[in-house]
């Protein structure tokens, strides 16, 4: 590549990055006007951007405007933003606040995973016994059923993280509990996705590789934690925090990309690095700097994923299939997570919030669906139905949380958890700044 070609390529990437950020801004603006979490606007804008651009420009012109090499670079920016943002979130999971026992976490994980898997099996049965045979497709039966089960059990860790941060509830009981359970469930979900793809192709080595990566990643995280606790690392962190932040960010992105290329999600790598960082004031400052960069870039993740996954359009909408999928998704994931939190001893209100948060699917679900669709496990009608389900269940999260926060006030009942102020309003830690200003 000549110098002129390199300059042109860089200019093309920067122009595309500006457009992507503008799409994210438009989505956030629309979401605010509709009183939805900003991340919902980014997701919907990303989903619509690809089909709209193709409809306006045509597939050939769209490929010229966003060629594969530029799209690949944008995807690197997107993944880096996601990883850096999740490093800070994972670090907070062990900072201060309420710590949960293995029993409590286990119940929420079981409640959010097992019933959701069963609801996916029921959805698969509906497709097999009620829908037309063309809707079912030709994938092997075990692979198809397992794929549907995984699709309805996923919780979107990146989207959940943004919702928790936007509403200021990352360190509340329901925020920390749902985030911890979501990370565990998604790791298990990616392992089962490897099994489903293996069953569809007649090979199972992908699952064995994923298990090996899981164990190796845990050992690597312990090694990173030991290295960051060394005297040299502590001195570097105290004297040059910004240099340390750059190094930590580079390490996190490297680990995440390596984990993803070895068969697991980059989310797992980011969480491992975040958990490995020591918990003291100096390192907290470093992690804050890393998270700030990630938060600025994470809209690129939502928009670019929508552009690359749905640039060919989403087709017609099978309404009956969508209704069944949404019903199964809410009952399995939301209802199961609520039940798990109640069995763990959490209050009614906290359990309801956990169920609402765990029902968030977002773009992690969309990526999983794209894997299943590309592997031939899902047909186009099922793919579209589950895409709409992911968007609908994610859009439900904000309004349901607001309803749960205001319910004691509307009903004129005392707040059993002591969360209300003297006038019955919810505390500042569970409401967005926009809701606070709106209520005043």
Question: Where do the domains of the chain lie, and which CATH numbers do they carry?
Answer: 76-405 (1.20.1530.20)
% of residues, the chain, pLDDT over 90: 18
- Measured at the CA of 297, the angle between CA 151 and CA 40, to 5 degrees, comes to 45
pLDDT in tens, 135-151: 898 889 999 999 999 99
Residue 440 has pLDDT above 50, yes or no: no
Residue 99 has pLDDT above 70, yes or no: no
pLDDT in tens, 317-327: 688 899 999 99
Mean pLDDT of the chain: 80
pTM, 2 dp: 0.69
Residue 314 has pLDDT above 70, yes or no: no
pLDDT of res. 127: 94
pLDDT of res. 95: 45
Residue 415 has pLDDT above 50, yes or no: no
**Residues 63, 24: Cα–Cα separation, whole Å:** 21
Q: Residue 322 corresponds to which tokens in the numbers above?
A: 């969508």
pLDDT in tens, 15-27: 888 888 888 888 8
Q: Of 112, 140, 111, nearest to 124 (Cα)?
A: 140
pLDDT of res. 147: 94
Q: Of 369, 327, 299, 382, nearest to 46 (Cα)?
A: 299
pLDDT in tens, 225-244: 888 888 888 888 888 889 99
Q: Can you give the C-alpha Rg of the chain in angstroms?
A: 22
**Which of 20-24, 83-87, 310-314, 329-333 has the least mean pLDDT?**
310-314
339 vs 272, more confident: 339
Mean pLDDT of the region 326-350: 93
**Residues 360, 397: Cα–Cα separation, whole Å:** 6
- Sign of the four-CA dihedral 94, 96, 343, 332: negative
């Amino acid at each position: 590549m000549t110098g002129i070609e390199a300059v042109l390529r860089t200019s093309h990437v920067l122009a595309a990055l500006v457009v992507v950020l503008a799409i994210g801004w438009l989505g956030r603006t629309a979401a605010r006007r509709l009183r939805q979490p900003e991340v919902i606007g980014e997701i919907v804008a990303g989903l619509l951007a690809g089909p709209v651009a193709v409809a306006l420009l045509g597939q050939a012109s769209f490929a010229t405007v966003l060629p594969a090499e530029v799209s690949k670079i944008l995807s690197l920016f997107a993944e880096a933003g996601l990883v850096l943002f999740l490093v800070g979130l994972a670090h907070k999971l062990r900072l201060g606040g309420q710590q949960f026992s293995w029993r409590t976490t286990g119940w929420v994980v079981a409640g959010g995973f097992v019933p959701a898997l069963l609801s996916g099996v029921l959805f698969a049965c509906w497709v097999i016994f009620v829908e037309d045979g063309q809707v079912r497709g030709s994938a092997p039966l075990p692979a198809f059923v397992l794929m549907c089960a995984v699709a309805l059990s996923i919780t979107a860790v990146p989207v959940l993280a943004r919702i928790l941060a936007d509403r200021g509830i990352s360190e509340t009981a329901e925020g920390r509990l749902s985030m911890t359970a979501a990370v565990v469930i998604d790791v298990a979900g990616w392992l089962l996705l490897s099994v489903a793809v293996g069953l569809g192709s007649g090979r199972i080595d992908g699952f064995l590789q994923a298990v090996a990566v899981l164990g190796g990643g845990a050992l690597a995280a312990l090694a990173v934690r030991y290295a960051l606790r060394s005297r040299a690392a502590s001195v570097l962190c105290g004297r040059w925090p910004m240099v340390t932040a750059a190094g930590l960010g580079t390490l996190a992105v490297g680990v995440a990309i390596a984990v993803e290329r070895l068969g697991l999600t980059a989310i797992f790598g980011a969480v491992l690095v975040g958990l490995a960082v020591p918990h003291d004031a100096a390192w907290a400052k470093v992690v804050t700097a890393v998270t700030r960069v990630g938060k600025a870039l994470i809209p690129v993740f939502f928009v670019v994923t929508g552009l690359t996954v749905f640039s060919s359009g989403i087709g017609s909408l099978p309404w009956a299939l969508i209704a069944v999928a949404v019903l199964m998704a809410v009952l399995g994931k939301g209802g199961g997570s609520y039940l798990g939190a109640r069995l763990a001893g959490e209050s009614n209100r906290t359990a309801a919030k956990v169920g609402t948060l765990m029902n968030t699917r977002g773009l992690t679900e969309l990526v999983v669906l794209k894997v299943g669709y590309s592997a031939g496990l899902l047909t186009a009608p099922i793919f579209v139905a589950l895409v709409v389900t992911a968007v609908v269940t994610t859009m439900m999260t904000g309004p349901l949380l607001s309803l749960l926060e205001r319910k004691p006030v509307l009903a004129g009942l005392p707040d059993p958890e002591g969360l209300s102020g003297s006038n019955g309003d919810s505390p500042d830690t569970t409401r967005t700044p926009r809701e606070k200003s709106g209520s005043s």
